[in-house]
Structure 1
Amino acid sequence: MGNQCRSLAARASKQQLFEKVGVHQTQEGFGITLDKHPLRTPSKNPLVLPSKALALAVAAEWRWQQNHKLQPSTMPLMSLAATAIDEPKPRHAVIDTLLSHVHTDATCCREQTGPIAARQAEVYRPIVEAVSKRLGVQFHVTDSIFGAEQPESTALAIRSYLEGLSNWSLAGTAELIASCRSVVVGIAISEGLVDVEQGLEAARVEENFQIEGWGLVEGGHDIDSAGLKVQVAAPSIFLRLLQSKD
């Protein structure tokens, strides 16, 4: 997620410090300026955002940089916006990559028996059912180590769903799927079927189960959990701001 911002940060650091961050409306949407200079993406495309709410949020990320050394990790919304505009990877390639994980989705590939299997069923079942209902498909669940071969109709429906997304929505949804390591959980969060906390619980079922049994490793589990929360919360917020009418 940070490659786009790292490129921007490298360029911006050469001309730092900027004093004022502005948001202005254009014919295409909303732009951002640094000392009245329009921001551009790493590929030098105009940074034009589709909603004022998203533009204000990205501008806030840049304002935070005014009193700090530029840190790409603190600009996740900017990174997603640049990805949506620049398309560093073609849409069809992004979608193909996401679909390649459908048959090994964590929500459908579970342990055979025992407490962890029960926990997986408890956490995953409502999410799988919600996405199944939203897309009008069925998911096969298995305990095989080779994955769960999903019906062709299910894979086609997921492809159709992803292809129907705008570049902006696809950028956010793809980040959710990658962060949660699950197409099902990523779509569930994107569609508002579950909130971020529920998505995080699904993404960390095994880790949380181990922590309950063996305890938390400070400097390990806690850092991983905090990092994942940012990786999931940022695209979720990004998608909500996209839809804002304010």
Structure 2
Amino acid sequence: MGLPAGHHQVLHHAPDNPTQRNKDQLIRAAVKFLDTDTICYRVEEPETLVELQKNEWDPILEWAERRFGVEIGSSTSILGPSIPARTREVLASHLASYSTWALQGIEFVVAQLKSMLLTLGLLDLRLTVEQAVLLSRLEEEYQIQKWGNVEWAHDYELQELRARTAAGTLFVHLCSESTGVKHKLPQE
């Protein structure tokens, strides 16, 4: 079966942690993505896209707020929503439960999806890779439905993004599994 295409990109960055960042720095970098999280930025028009964003993104936003007991919110301002400090702290302490390796995988996925919240949904098995990728590309998909597109280019881009997202997510799960496994030696 093997890893999905794109796995080499994750693994390539992981072994040597080329940036030599420690756990705190990795967590801070991931939490910083909240400021520009795709699903927190909303359009004011056209009405059909406003509705689409509301219907598709609000459930994820509400899920994240319930799951972590925080406030996030969304905004149509170019500055985005102002994320409360407590929200950052709560999400940072959640991320602290992951290993340094897993955090590199998380950062990779967040960068693919341009969304911390979609990544959390993926890791929590609230979303599939296909759903997360589609939600991260809602606006592009809307434009394509409306105006059409260069078929092969779009399909290739979508497959690539899915493969990278799947690989990163799998990498995080594998890192998390291995840290949680304790080998017990049989007692004499």
> Could you tell me the TM-score, scaled by structure 1's length?
0.64
Q: Residues 122, 75 of structure 1: CA spacing in aligned structure 2 closer, same or farther, 3 A cutoff?
A: closer
Q: Aligned ranges for residues 69-80 of structure 1 at < 5 Å?
A: 74=5, 76=7, 78-80=8-10
Matched residue, 1:222: 155
- Of residues 118, 129, 134, the one that matches 1:196 is 129
**How many corresponding residue pairs?**
175
Q: Residues 138, 85 of structure 1: CA spacing in aligned structure 2 closer, same or farther, 3 A cutoff?
A: same
Please state which structure has a larger fraction of its residues in helix: 2
Please state which structure has a larger fraction of its residues in strand: 1
How far apart, CA to CA, are the structure 1 residues paired with 2:62 and 2:5?
Answer: 35
Q: Residues 85, 134 of structure 1: CA spacing in aligned structure 2 closer, same or farther, 3 A cutoff?
A: farther
Matched residue, 1:3: none
Q: Aligned ranges for residues 147-226 of structure 1 at < 5 Å?
A: 147-226=80-159
* Deviation (angstroms), 1:164: 2.3
Q: Sequence identity of aligned pairs in percent?
A: 27
Bigger CA radius of gyration: 1
Greater relative contact order (CA < 8 Å, ≥ 6 in sequence): 2
Q: Residues 105, 79 of structure 1: CA spacing in aligned structure 2 closer, same or farther, 3 A cutoff?
A: closer
* Deviation (angstroms), 1:171: 2.2
Match of 1:165, SS?
coil
Q: Please state if 1:132 is matched with 2:65.
A: yes
* Deviation (angstroms), 1:123: 1.3
Q: Aligned ranges for residues 32-181 of structure 1 at < 5 Å?
A: 60=2, 74=5, 76=7, 78-81=8-11, 83-89=13-19, 90=21, 91-113=23-45, 114-181=47-114
How far apart, CA to CA, are the structure 2 residues paired with 1:102 and 1:216?
Answer: 30
Q: Residues 79, 145 of structure 1: CA spacing in aligned structure 2 closer, same or farther, 3 A cutoff?
A: closer
Residues 123, 201 of structure 1: 8 Å contact kept? no
Matched residue, 1:48: none
Q: Gapped runs of 5+ residues in structure 1? A: 1-56, 62-72
How far apart, CA to CA, are the structure 1 residues paired with 2:170 and 2:28?
Answer: 25
How far apart, CA to CA, are the structure 1 residues paired with 2:157 and 2:70?
Answer: 33
Match of 1:146, SS?
coil
* Deviation (angstroms), 1:97: 2.3
Moved over 4 A (4+): none
Letter in 1 for 2:161: L
Q: Residues 74, 196 of structure 1: CA spacing in aligned structure 2 closer, same or farther, 3 A cutoff?
A: closer
Letter in 1 for 2:167: A
Letter in 2 for 1:229: R
* Deviation (angstroms), 1:143: 0.9
How far apart, CA to CA, are the structure 2 residues paired with 1:133 and 1:115?
Answer: 27
How far apart, CA to CA, are the structure 2 residues paired with 1:86 and 1:131?
Answer: 32
Q: Residues 240, 211 of structure 1: CA spacing in aligned structure 2 closer, same or farther, 3 A cutoff?
A: same
> Could you tell me the TM-score, scaled by structure 2's length?
0.82
How far apart, CA to CA, are the structure 1 residues paired with 2:25 and 2:153?
Answer: 34
Matched residue, 2:186: none
